[in-house]
Structure 1
Amino acid sequence: MTSPLTALVNIISSNVQSLEGAYAKAETPFPSLDDPFRPTLLDFDPSLAETRNLIVAAAAQLLATVRSPIEMLQDYAPGMYWTATLGFVVDVNVPDILKDAGPQGLHVKEISAINGIDPSYLSRILRFLATRHVFKEVTPDVFANNRLSSLLQKTKSVEEIKADPVGRFDGAPLASFISAFADESLKSCAHFSDMLQNPSKAAAAFNIALNTEAKMWDWYEEPGNEWRARRFTAAMTGGADRFPSEIFTNGIGGKDLQEGDVVVDVGGSVGSAVLPMYKAFPHLKFVVQDLAKQVIAAEGFWKEHAPEAVPSGRVKLQAHDFFTPQPVKGAAVYFLRVVIHDWPDHDAKKILQHLRDAAAPSSKLVIFDSLAVHTCEDPSANPATVQKAPYPLLANLGIAGAGFNTSLDIQMMNVFNGKERTEKDFKELGNATGWKFESLTPGLLPTFTFSAA
């Protein structure tokens, strides 16, 4: 049998050839890490997703195999500084300041003159990030945006950001996401181990860190957190945009629904996942439900993207707490997009039970959420939903296949005591609340379909 090292190198080599071949065929140069991110169709081509994942999985496993285990652990342990430094540069607008500087970049003294941060701090933090391929150090203490750091930019100018600090993250989902991780999530991490060892102390580490009994959503409603609530809305508005709209339109089975059937987006934020459904299925009606503050934000979203939708009655924006009885009875479809993972099992069951109590015999429940996959082969998993990884890769392809998912699982544990779930976990939730599991459609965002039992 081929040695693990040789097998890993072969996976990298063969898939790099395939990737370069695809770009050559399209007469498109492969993107340089040194240049700002300028998306092309190939960047999001689903036919290349597996190729990229295999390269990343093999490269990461090769690194873990050949590097000294001491060095690996020394690199892992201070991982909180990745989060802290990314959050810092977003907070003080470094990527935005560098946006107009071009490839020649700016000296840290020039950056300091704009954001007021000590040049020595800027130099060290930017060098830490550039060492990890976020930003490029062009010449000593001169930094420019690169492929990664350019994605940290906000949509507003530095002057506009300073003039409207509460709305500084509007339209910038990735910057919002990173800022939140470096804010309440990083603060909560300091209490992570203590909370897990003493779970009766609080609902989650978040509650200890922020000295509150409130869930994060309710905490956002408190005075002084207006900008955090708005940042969360910006992050979630981009949540649906990260996924092809076909996931949602196909997931609800809209073509098979009848004229006037109602589809309810439960905990839908502003309803960004409903927008492609609204456009694809003119014969259907939609209800977007969330807490009152999100509904206010949703009004602006729909006025911008489909101003006729709400006045026509085809889209209804409804303030609703999904821990209370569902007001829309007998809908054709109730769906939850990246909601259930926010909650521990006992709360998730309450949410699904309220939907089951409101459902008609023909109602469907559709859950769009992450699928947790074991690092080893799972004999209980449906072979049709799990692709076998090539030797010697981990069954879930490591950081390439489950890196973000496993990080998100820890985030859910840290902030909400929520969880990412396996196929078995979802089936058990359904069985406990009167929903019969029908199918799992794997993909970038898996779709779990249930019928009323």
Structure 2
Amino acid sequence: MTVVQEQSSSSALEDFNALVKNLHKVIDTIASQVVATIGTRDPSLVSDKPSPPASSELLSAFRKFTKLSDEFSSYATSPSEHLTMIAGAFYESTALNVVSELGVADLIGKERVHVSWLAKEANVDQSRLRHVMRMLANRQVFRETEYGSDVFENNRMSSILLSSHEKNLKGFVGHWSDDGYRSADSTLKAFRPENANKSIFEVHHGMSLWDYFGRPEGAVARERGNRAMVGAEPILHGGLIYDYDWAKHGESATIVDVGAGMGGAAIELTRRFPKLRIIMQDKPEVIESATEFWKTNAPECLPRVAMVPHDFFSPQPSYTSLLPNPPKVYFLRFVLHDWFEDHCVEILKNIRDVIPKAEDGGRLYIAEILLDKDSDRFKHMVSAHMMNMTGALERTEGEFAEILRRSGFKIAKVHKNKGFISLIEAVAVPQVPEL
């Protein structure tokens, strides 16, 4: 048994004072940035359009504030209260899923609406709806005009649940708070050694998430999962599109988006770079949904996009016939965190077989969350969600380096941006002939 010496009171006080100092510094940064943009970030603003992007400095400050404030709460509350808040957080998640599924934000629109009318329109019990609306208003989702008035209106937070919002979060909420929540019931059972190679979802449902998505009963969950990635783009991708100089590969370059899903990032790339070409790869049913999604949301970009049904566990197609612009860049966005390490190596080796040499411009980009000592609550939540749904986890830079090494790649650079994810730039390593 290893004995760890208890931290001295003077050292603990020094740590607390340092925490307070850091909090003040971060709050000052946030305040100065928000004051400059308060006209577009008013908490009462109702809009069915995406909010303007915040600056890198502001987003970085918010990330730090989230982590520091969680740490501060451990000093400011008793252990029993702190743990109770963690244990009961699922009630807020459930409430959010209820109002999302009922379409409460759409019912309210840009009006102020009494809960009795909402309950009648949604065909639910009035007292229970009041309870969840007030709980969410307490978390700044919706706004009660005056406490006890039972009159609610949308605000900047709830507006992202509007069906008309280009980046509405309804799919993401359902993917986490419904699909994820139900399977998470088997977490303890999945932790047993005999289930180590199964996701929690598989332990709960008796099949993998991907098998479930392929069945008729999984159609709703599959579509919700695909749309979750589009809706979550502002929080997950952040500066992925704008903080990295994609133009360095040539304004009319071709990028292969492996496991592209609905193509949320690809839409932004093609809009920003009007000559860029994208080859979107995914399973046939996903490509079918993605094609319809692009027809509705980005029809002007479709002529520069090839929708290609492809299983990334199969050998990559050769695109050398696409002269003069065969692809040199391969892009995986939130793909590898879906799979165990051996599966990741299999996916990457298929790319390694066709990607050009580094000196010829061949580049592999992996957009993922990187865990480190500064990772905040949200990053750890995403990691837990992936453990639940697919069995994999978010990884550290070192863990990615090992997966790439096994696949015939090495990290050239890690690009940090203002979002939650990082962009790992990798190049193929010359293969040594076997003797």
Counterpart-to-counterpart distance in 1, 2:67 and 2:98: 29
Q: Is 1:268 matched up with 2:260?
A: yes
Secondary structure of 2:426's counterpart equals strand
2:58 alignment partner in structure 1: 48
Which residue among 334, 337, 359 is the counterpart of 2:330?
334
Bigger Cα displacement from structure 2, 346-355 vs 40-49 = 40-49
Deviations 1:22-48 (A, max 9, x none): 444x37469565665798977612222
1:447 alignment partner in structure 2: 423
Bigger Cα displacement from structure 2, 52-61 vs 350-359 = 52-61
Which residue among 353, 367, 382 is the counterpart of 2:349?
353
Deviations 1:321-342 (A, max 9, x none): 1111111356411110111111
- How many residue pairs end up in the alignment? 406
Q: Is 1:10 matched up with 2:21?
A: yes
1:382 alignment partner in structure 2: none
Q: Is 1:134 matched up with 2:137?
A: no
Which residue among 93, 101, 124 is the counterpart of 2:103?
93
The amino acid across from 2:228 in the alignment is A
Change (3 A) 1:334 1:188: same
Counterpart-to-counterpart distance in 2, 1:368 and 1:111: 41
Q: Is 1:325 matched up with 2:315?
A: yes
User: Please, which runs of 5 or more residues in structure 2 have no aligned partner?
Assistant: 1-10, 321-326, 430-435
Secondary structure of 1:289's counterpart equals strand
Q: Is the 8 A contact 1:135 1:143 kept in 2?
A: no
1:391 alignment partner in structure 2: none
Change (3 A) 1:432 1:67: same
1:130 Cα offset (Å): 3.2
Change (3 A) 1:279 1:77: closer
Counterpart-to-counterpart distance in 1, 2:300 and 2:47: 34
TM-score normalised by the chain length of structure 1: 0.79
Q: Is 1:185 matched up with 2:145?
A: no
Secondary structure of 1:316's counterpart equals strand
The amino acid across from 1:437 in the alignment is I
Q: Is 1:123 matched up with 2:121?
A: no
1:235 Cα offset (Å): 1.7
1:197 Cα offset (Å): 1.7
Q: Is 1:295 matched up with 2:287?
A: yes
Counterpart-to-counterpart distance in 2, 1:152 and 1:283: 31
Change (3 A) 1:199 1:359: farther
Counterpart-to-counterpart distance in 2, 1:135 and 1:245: 24
1:422 alignment partner in structure 2: 396
1:426 Cα offset (Å): 0.8
**Aligned 1:404-423 pairs, distance under 5 A:** 404-423=378-397
Q: Is the 8 A contact 1:90 1:152 kept in 2?
A: no
Counterpart-to-counterpart distance in 2, 1:294 and 1:142: 42
Bigger Cα displacement from structure 2, 57-66 vs 184-193 = 57-66
Secondary structure of 1:217's counterpart equals helix
2:6 alignment partner in structure 1: none
**Aligned 1:154-233 pairs, distance under 5 A:** 154-156=162-164, 171=166, 173-200=168-195, 203-211=198-206, 213=207, 215-233=208-226
Counterpart-to-counterpart distance in 1, 2:197 and 2:51: 46
The amino acid across from 2:142 in the alignment is F
Secondary structure of 2:120's counterpart equals helix
Counterpart-to-counterpart distance in 1, 2:130 and 2:286: 39
Change (3 A) 1:365 1:402: same
Counterpart-to-counterpart distance in 2, 1:207 and 1:222: 14
2:377 alignment partner in structure 1: 403
Change (3 A) 1:59 1:145: farther
1:17 Cα offset (Å): 3.6
The percentage of aligned residue pairs carrying the same residue is 24
Counterpart-to-counterpart distance in 1, 2:346 and 2:44: 49
Q: Is 1:373 matched up with 2:372?
A: yes
Counterpart-to-counterpart distance in 1, 2:175 and 2:51: 29
User: Please, which runs of 5 or more residues in structure 1 have no aligned partner?
Assistant: 157-169, 375-395
Counterpart-to-counterpart distance in 2, 1:431 and 1:89: 46
Counterpart-to-counterpart distance in 2, 1:62 and 1:241: 27
Counterpart-to-counterpart distance in 2, 1:99 and 1:183: 24
Counterpart-to-counterpart distance in 2, 1:191 and 1:40: 36
Q: Is the 8 A contact 1:96 1:154 kept in 2?
A: yes
Change (3 A) 1:122 1:5: same
1:389 alignment partner in structure 2: none
Secondary structure of 2:171's counterpart equals helix
Q: Is the 8 A contact 2:67 2:377 kept in 1?
A: no
Deviations 1:230-277 (A, max 9, x none): 222322223445467863477574433496x53210001133322343
Secondary structure of 2:223's counterpart equals helix
The amino acid across from 1:219 in the alignment is Y
Q: Is the 8 A contact 1:154 1:172 kept in 2?
A: no
The amino acid across from 1:111 in the alignment is L
1:123 Cα offset (Å): 2.4
Counterpart-to-counterpart distance in 2, 1:323 and 1:58: 41
